[in-house]
């Protein structure tokens, strides 16, 4: 699986560690920055990762900022992106199984590194269930997206 990573300055240290962890575990990693702790703007990295997921440059994305909230807001502005803030392992797998989340958002100022590692593995191993009730709900989300800009 190819995993696309992005973070602002607050998420950069976690991103660096998670990228190494994933490479060692055999995942292919595309790191879209930032590559320093110099202050940067999380929407830039959220947009880069969202566009890469839409363009099928990887199967899953991981975005990290201080709280996870900023990157999730920005990524969810893109049609076809389902970005979820998951700071526990239950949400990390249910968000994929039920909601077909394609970008995991983590807050480096909120959770510890070891929990972040567990959440990342849980998220990447989870699969969408394909159950009818979830498909129906996702279709409703797509219908909302289809209406964007029409009012
Ligand atoms: O969590 C975030 C957005 O939700 C950002 O990482 C955070 O706002 C950055 O803060 P600062 O510029 O003060 O380092």
Q: What angle do CA 42, 97, 91 make, to 5 degrees?
A: 55
Catalytic: 98? Answer: yes
Pick the atom of ligand 1 nearest to 10's CA: 6
Task: Give the pocket of ligand 1 (CB within 6 Å).
Answer: 8, 10, 39, 42, 65-67, 69-70
pLDDT digits (tens, 9 = 90+) for 66-93: 999 999 999 999 999 999 999 999 999 9
Q: Which residue is catalytic, options 93, 98, 105, 134?
A: 98
Q: What would the DSSP string read from start to end of 85-127? A: E--SHHHHHHHHHTT---EEEEETTTS-HHHHHHHHHHHHH--
Q: Which CATH number fits domain 2-146: 3.40.50.720, 3.30.1280.10, 3.40.190.290, 3.40.1400.10?
A: 3.40.1400.10
Give me ligand 1 centre to Cα 42, in Å.
8
Instruction: Give the pLDDT of residue 149.
Output: 76
Residue 151 above 70 pLDDT?
Answer: no
Site to substitute for ligand 1 among 7, 63, 65, most atoms within 8 A of C-beta? 65
């Amino acid at each position: 699986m190819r995993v696309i990573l992005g973070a602002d300055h607050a998420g950069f240290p976690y991103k660096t560690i998670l990228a190494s962890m994933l490479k060692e575990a055999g995942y292919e990693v595309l790191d879209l920055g930032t590559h320093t702790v110099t202050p940067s703007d999380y929407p830039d990295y959220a947009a880069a990762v969202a566009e890469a997921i839409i363009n099928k440059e990887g199967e899953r994305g991981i975005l990290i900022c201080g709280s996870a909230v900023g990157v999730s807001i920005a990524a969810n502005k893109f049609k076809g992106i389902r970005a979820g803030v998951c700071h526990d392992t239950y949400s990390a797998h249910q968000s994929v199984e039920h909601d077909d989340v394609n970008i995991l958002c983590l807050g480096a100022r909120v959770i510890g590194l070891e929990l972040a590692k567990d959440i990342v593995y849980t998220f990447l191993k989870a699969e969408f269930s394909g159950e009818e009730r979830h498909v129906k709900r996702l279709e409703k989300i797509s219908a909302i997206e289809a209406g964007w800009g029409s009012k």
